[in-house]
Each structure stands twice: as structure tokens, then as C-alpha cells.
Structure 1
Amino acid sequence: MVMQTDTVLQKMSEDDFMAVFTLGRKLGQGRFGTVFLSVEKSTGREYACKLIEKRKLVTCEDVRDLRREIQIMRHLNANPNVASIRDAYEDSKAVYIVMEFCSGGELFDGIKERGCYTEKEAAKLVRTIVAVVQGFHSLGVMHRDLKPENFLFLHHQEDSPLKIIDFGSSTFFLPGESFRDVVGSPYYVAPEVLQKHYGPEVDIWSAGVILYVLLSGVPPFWAKTEKEIYQEVLHGDLDFSSEPWPVISESAKDLMRRMLDKNPATRIATGEVLSHPWVRINGIAPDKLINS
């Protein structure tokens, strides 16, 4: 158990969170933290606040993971597609991570609201997602839990930027370093994570799963139980025969095969995705509607 005298942030906040902000409605719930809308009292500006109760930080590893999450958010703060961290506070009961508030909702909700959707729009979203991944990787960070729920629109306007959130599973890495801990979400996890020997290529796999879902509405490797999903991820084949794949362009399918290559050594790299004819700006992704 984290002792009340210990500080998670390694120095107690100079300001008291509750003196600076008002906590509002609940926005979401994670394993350790609950996210609330919070309002800065002096300006009326809205933020998202992730509140982590210290009593839930049972092991030294829990504390280390939370410190690393905050460190990574600060490390990536200059990236315009990362929900930026404003500050972190701590009192005797909780840690508060104050972040940019994204009011536009999750990636899929935004698409559903628009109703109509084309390959060209999917290509634009993938271009943004993979460019963000490339930015992480260049700074020595892998996300390890890319999924549609972790991409939010900043606002509801048509031109809203896409922002990535939730760095609780993220880690720093060095070139050539290999990882063994199994993290991520079942449908989006790369096969090499399940084999406990992986590097940053896992983020390209997860981005490929997101693309597959963007185009077809279902994950590429599907089953009823978590164990069966993992078996599909390890041994299943991509399905390009069901609807709507017969009407999706061959170029999109080529990119899918290369992003969802089960061998991380031959999987397409971020730079290659961004220069792929289907993804690049003014590329060949068709502007015709996909059946929703």
C-alpha cells in the first residue's frame, strides 16, 4: 500500500487541486482512475481531470507506472495530436492529472454522427494516427494500447483535430530493446505481444486493426472469448471476401495486409505507411461512399 507520507509525484503540489479547480461530471472510468470534467476557477476554462485514488496504488509498480504515464505525457506535450497535460497535483488521498478536454467524442462516434463516410476520409484518419505513432516512436515512446476509444475529437466541428489519450500502458524504449509484458486490448493486440517478445512495431499492428474496423465495421480477428480472440490474432487469416470488402479498393487491402503482417520484422514501417499511395495526401483512396 502507498503510505500516506509517500508522494507519488516525488514532490507535493504547491497548489491544492481543489483550490484551483472544481470537479464536474464524470467523463469516463479506467482501471485505476476516473476522468471528470473540471473547471479552472480563475478562468472558467474546461479541462479533463484523471483522478487516481492513492489507496488503489497497491504496489511499487503501480506507483512507478503512474509516474511514467505523467512523464510520457509531458515528454509528448508538443505533439498537436496528443491531448496535452496541463499539470499534475497530489494531496493525501489522490493524484490529479489535468489535461486538455476533448468535447468532440470518440473516433467512431464522430464518424457515426457524420453518417456518410468514404475511403478518402478513412485514409486521412489513418494518416493522422500513423503520423502520431511516428512522432511517439521518434521520441522513444510506444503507446501499446492504440484503439478507437483512445482517439477523441477536440470539438464537434468538421475540421476538428484528432487527439490521442490514455498513456497508462505506454513505455519508453531503446532501439532494439525487446519487451515481455502482455498489455493492450484483445482485438487490437499484436501477435508478438502474446508471444512476449516485441518492440514498437506493435503500434503499427494496432493502427492496422483500427483501419480494418474503419473500413468494415468489425475487427479482423473476432471471437466470443478473450482466449479465442488471442488464438485468432495468432493464427487467423484476414477476411477480404465478406461485405464490404468486395467494393473496397485493392490499394486499401494492400495496405491492410502490410500493416497486419504477423511478422513484425517484415511489417510495414510508419514512414512507408505515410508514403503509401492509398494514404498520402492527394493519394488514390477513392472518394466514394462506403456502406455504413
Structure 2
Amino acid sequence: MGCSQSNTAYSALSGTESDYKAAFDEVKTLGEGQNFVQFGLVKLVVKKDSKSQPFAVKVLGKGFTFKDNILYTPMKPGVLKMELDILQVLQGKNYNLALDSIYESSSKVYVVTELCEGGEMLEYTSKNMAEGLRMEDVSRIAYQLLSALDHCDRHNILHRDLKPQNIIPPPSLHTRFKANTKTAELRVIDFGCGIMDDSKGKEHATFAGTPFLISPEVFQKKYTSKTDIFSAGVVLYVLVAGYPENLDYAFDILHSANRDLKTLPGMPKDMPDTFYEMLDKMLLHDWRGRNSAAEMLRDEFVAFYHALVGNGPNRVKMRRTSSMILSGTGEKAALAFGSLNFQRSVTTIMASMMSKTDLLTLLSAVEKKTSSSGNVENKLAVIKVVDLRSILEAMVKTDCLDAIARQNNAHIYDNYSYEYKRLEPFTMDNPTTTADILDSGASSAPRKLQFSTRMLNASTNMGGSSKRLSRKSQSVYIRGT
């Protein structure tokens, strides 16, 4: 792994690399983060003057990073500065990630945050609530998520990419839990798509986020902070139902002005009317009538957990919601988490084993298939895994098919949706030698060199559990005003 240096100033507020090393002891590496554009190491650290509390530091390269035959470009200073500015304003309050300090050298940025050990939402629920979520757990998570968004709204901050999965190792996650316990607090983080306005209610036109979770008005390119409420509603749906096999069918219901939310696929049979009433408010098609986060915090289902533990409205008023286990939710979370890992492995395999020309041919065939099969699949930029396999068979990509088939539980995910936009960064012009890389200058996408057998072996390890795999799903994101 190598890194070319840059003197670009990012947003260091706490000092230099020497100051960082004087303040912290590095205990161990937690993981390697890769998002097709940027590479970073995440480490567990403790302060030398008080070693009782651990922190996480993400070490970001300011220059090109070459790892496993892929060249990662540095994060743009403006993007990182916006994210760090947002974290500083939020001050780690109301279930938002706490930023401790920022250090900078000529080649690296060190971002120190609180340590979140509980895992992403689906991983957390599948491990800690394997027997099933309790109704009060759903209410508690809804309350914490909406509290975080209310705090953001009070500071004119839009997240713009809320989703349940963490894609790269801690702490750069979207919804991560503070600890690995049944009553852990969540943290909303990863404000890389976030924006901070100078006034309340400002409208935006930039398309940002992951298509299945974004609001109808984002597709119309006219939205406010209420777009985050819609995304949070989809997150809560996925919390109890998992990701549906037929993503397009669920998307149709979520984006319909007149719909019956009880027909959403995967919904537990025992969900009370109060849960659907909460979802209906959050997923209201017309954003102008959609409740704000502050209004949603007074919702009956959201208040249920606090009533149950004696910290909220009188329990007598909560009779429409009962404390009970939602059967099957643990299994659904595990299956959904596995499908995300499978997608990451499939992306790594195809990006590693196929040339730029092959990838362009594949994407062209996928676009043709999804365009003919209906507007929704095309809008979501997804294709069923079984259809993707058929295209690879027609291209005689036997090696790719064999590698995909070796993934953990691969046969289970044939009818799940694959986000084919993940492959687009690998179709950019790329140099073919290390010398070309170092002479090529800046780029907005990673560069792929000759395929490495070592990388393939990593990608076929337990359905994507290897640290070398890509850890962040590709969001459709173009920064603008």
C-alpha cells in the first residue's frame, strides 16, 4: 500500500500529527474502510492522560492510496470539512455521533470520535434480538432516531442519506449502536452527504441518497429537511420487515399517494395500528403535510417505550400498543444483513475480474433489461441477482459466476435486488501501470489495475466478511447547492 502526499488543508482543529501521537495511544486496528473513492484505517485509541475510555480514530489519506490493485483517491477537502463542521455543531447530542478531535499532517487526517461497538442496525438486531424484536425496542429506536433528526433540524442540518446498514468499519456508519446490548443507544452518523443551511426550510435540488430510502420529492429535485423523515420511516419499516426480495414492489407502495402500508412485504402480523399510523405520517407522499421530527416525537407509538418505563405519558393512554415479541424479526434482520454482505462480495468479484470494456457491456445489458422490465427497477437502479447471472452467462463470464456461487448462502439471494450502480466507478478511464497512476493526477473515481488472485480469494471468504472487501454501498450522490 502506498500513498502520495498532499499539502491540502482540510479542517484540523486540534493540532498536528505529533499532537495526535502525544495525546493518544493506538491499541489496535479495527478495520479498513473502502468506499470506491476513499480508503481509510480505523483504530481503537485511548487518551494517554485517561485510559479508561476508548475512542475510535479514522485515518484518512490526503493523497492517492494504492490497495489490492485499486487506487483510491483522497476525499475532497470541501466534503470532509462539511461533515466535520456538522459534527462539531451537533456536539454529539441527541443520539448523533460525538466528535472528539481532529488532527492533520501533510499526508493524513485523523478524525477521533466516540467508539461505537454495537454494529449496524440489522447486525445489532440479528445478534442481540435473535428471538425477535420487542415492541418497545421498535418504539425506543424510533424515538432515538427521531430525536437525532430533531436535533439536526434545529440546526438546519439535512443528513440526506439515512439507511440502516453500516457499510464500512466503525465509526463511519449511518446508524450504529453505542454498545452490543439489548438497550444500547443508537448513533446517527456518516454525514458525508449532509448539508447545513443558513436558514430554516430551505429547498434543495441536489439528488442525494440511496434510491430505495429517499423521498419522492428528492426524485423531483425539490425537497427540505422533511426528506430525512421519509427516509427514517423506510428505516423503521426495514427494522421490522428486513429488506424485501421484491424491492421494486415495496418501493411502489412506499411512493404511492394512496396506499395500504399493511400490504408492505415482510411486515410482522402483530404490528399494532399505532405503528402503521406512525409510518403513515412519516411516509406521507406530499412533504408539505409530512410531520417534522419534533411533531413525530409526540406520536403515540414513538412515546410507547417511555410510557412503558415510566418516563412518558401515562401507560393507560398506551393501551393500543402492547409489549410483545415480534416473531421472525431476528431472522429477517439476519437475512437482510447477509444480503448486503452478498452484494458487496458480488461487486468486488466483478470489479476485480472484469475489464472496463466488460463492465460497460454488462451495465449496458443491465440497463436494457431493467428499462424493458419496468420503470421502477430502472429508477431504483437495481436488477435481480438471477437476471444478473443470466447476463454474465450470456457474456461467458464463467469465472465470475463460479466465484459468486462460492459466496456464503449465495443461492438464497437469487431473487434479491442488486444495486448495479455500484459498478459504475470501475468503468472510469484507468491507467495500467503504477507509473501511470502516479503521473495521472487527480481523479473522481478509483482506478483498477490488473486482477489480483489474492483479492479474489479475499472476496470469496464467507460472503464478504473479509476486511479487504468493499464496505460502503454506492449512493447516488452529486454534491451541489
TM-score of the pair, normalised by structure 2: 0.54
Distance in 1 separating the partners of 2:297 and 2:39: 34
Distance in 2 separating the partners of 1:11 and 1:275: 38
Distance in 2 separating the partners of 1:250 and 1:181: 35
Q: 2:223 matched to 1:198? A: yes
Distance in 2 separating the partners of 1:104 and 1:78: 17
User: Which residue of structure 2 aligns with residue 110 of structure 1?
Assistant: 124
Q: Which deviations, in whole Å up to 9, do the C-alpha atoms of 1:220-253 show, x marking residues without a partner?
A: 9823xxxx99877655955523553543212211
User: Which residue of structure 2 aligns with residue 162 of structure 1?
Assistant: 186
Secondary structure (helix, strand or coil) at the match of 2:289 reads coil
Q: 2:291 matched to 1:268? A: yes
Length, aligned pairs only: 286
Equivalent AA in structure 1 for residue 189 of structure 2: I
Task: Please say which of residues 18-27 and 276-285 is displaced more in the overlay.
Answer: 18-27
Equivalent AA in structure 2 for residue 240 of structure 1: K
Deviation at 1:55, TM superposition (A): 2.1
User: Which residue of structure 1 aligns with residue 202 of structure 2?
Assistant: 177
Closer/same/farther in 2, CA of residues 273 and 67 from structure 1, 3 Å limit: same
Matching residue within 36, 42, 45 for 1:39: 45
Matching residue within 248, 253, 257 for 2:276: 253
Distance in 2 separating the partners of 1:62 and 1:262: 34
Distance in 2 separating the partners of 1:203 and 1:220: 24
Equivalent AA in structure 2 for residue 105 of structure 1: G
Confirm or deny: 8 A CA contact 1:104 1:156 kept in the other structure. Answer: yes
User: Which residue of structure 2 aligns with residue 100 of structure 1?
Assistant: 114
Deviation at 1:21, TM superposition (A): 4.1
Distance in 1 separating the partners of 2:287 and 2:110: 37
Structure whose alpha-carbon radius of gyration is higher = 2
Matching residue within 133, 143, 161 for 1:145: 161
Confirm or deny: 8 A CA contact 2:122 2:164 kept in the other structure. Answer: yes
Equivalent AA in structure 2 for residue 37 of structure 1: K
Deviation at 1:40, TM superposition (A): 3.1
Task: Please say which of residues 15-24 and 230-239 is displaced more in the overlay.
Answer: 230-239
Secondary structure (helix, strand or coil) at the match of 2:29 reads strand
Closer/same/farther in 2, CA of residues 53 and 229 from structure 1, 3 Å limit: farther
Equivalent AA in structure 1 for residue 45 of structure 2: V
Distance in 1 separating the partners of 2:38 and 2:251: 25
Matching residue within 6, 9, 15 for 1:13: 15
Deviation at 1:167, TM superposition (A): 1.4
RMSD: 3.0
Deviation at 1:18, TM superposition (A): 4.4
User: Which residue of structure 2 aligns with residue 48 of structure 1?
Assistant: 56
Distance in 1 separating the partners of 2:98 and 2:76: 22
Deviation at 1:130, TM superposition (A): 0.3
Task: Please say which of residues 65-74 and 280-289 is displaced more in the overlay.
Answer: 280-289
Closer/same/farther in 2, CA of residues 176 and 192 from structure 1, 3 Å limit: same
Task: Please say which of residues 189-198 and 12-21 is displaced more in the overlay.
Answer: 12-21
Deviation at 1:50, TM superposition (A): 2.1
Confirm or deny: 8 A CA contact 2:94 2:144 kept in the other structure. Answer: no
Task: Please say which of residues 97-106 and 242-251 is displaced more in the overlay.
Answer: 242-251
Matching residue within 297, 301, 311 for 1:278: 301
Confirm or deny: 8 A CA contact 2:39 2:60 kept in the other structure. Answer: yes
User: Which residue of structure 2 aligns with residue 26 of structure 1?
Assistant: 31
Distance in 2 separating the partners of 1:8 and 1:62: 9
Task: From the two aligned structures, give the one with the greater helix fraction.
Answer: 2
Secondary structure (helix, strand or coil) at the match of 1:253 reads helix
Deviation at 1:52, TM superposition (A): 2.1
Distance in 2 separating the partners of 1:51 and 1:252: 41
Secondary structure (helix, strand or coil) at the match of 2:262 reads coil
Distance in 1 separating the partners of 2:254 and 2:276: 18
Q: Which deviations, in whole Å up to 9, do the C-alpha atoms of 1:195-227 show, x marking residues without a partner?
A: 11111001100110011112222369823xxxx
Closer/same/farther in 2, CA of residues 262 and 66 from structure 1, 3 Å limit: same
Equivalent AA in structure 2 for residue 39 of structure 1: V
Distance in 2 separating the partners of 1:48 and 1:152: 13
Closer/same/farther in 2, CA of residues 188 and 221 from structure 1, 3 Å limit: farther
Deviation at 1:11, TM superposition (A): 7.0
Distance in 2 separating the partners of 1:219 and 1:238: 16
Confirm or deny: 8 A CA contact 2:244 2:266 kept in the other structure. Answer: no
Q: Which deviations, in whole Å up to 9, do the C-alpha atoms of 1:119-176 show, x marking residues without a partner?
A: 2220111011001100111112111111123222211233322222211111112223
**Percent of aligned pairs sharing the same letter:** 22
Confirm or deny: 8 A CA contact 2:275 2:301 kept in the other structure. Answer: yes
Unaligned residue ranges in structure 1 (runs of 5+): none
1:55-134 to structure 2, matched below 5 A, reads 55=63, 62-113=76-127, 114-115=129-130, 116-134=132-150
User: Which residue of structure 1 aligns with residue 151 of structure 2?
Assistant: 135
Equivalent AA in structure 1 for residue 57 of structure 2: C
Q: Which deviations, in whole Å up to 9, do the C-alpha atoms of 1:4-44 show, x marking residues without a partner?
A: 33312277924523454426231644443525123236244
Q: Which deviations, in whole Å up to 9, do the C-alpha atoms of 1:64-115 show, x marking residues without a partner?
A: 1111111111111140412211111111112111111111212222211222
Larger relative contact order (Cα-Cα within 8 Å, sequence gap ≥ 6)? 2
Distance in 1 separating the partners of 2:327 and 2:250: 26
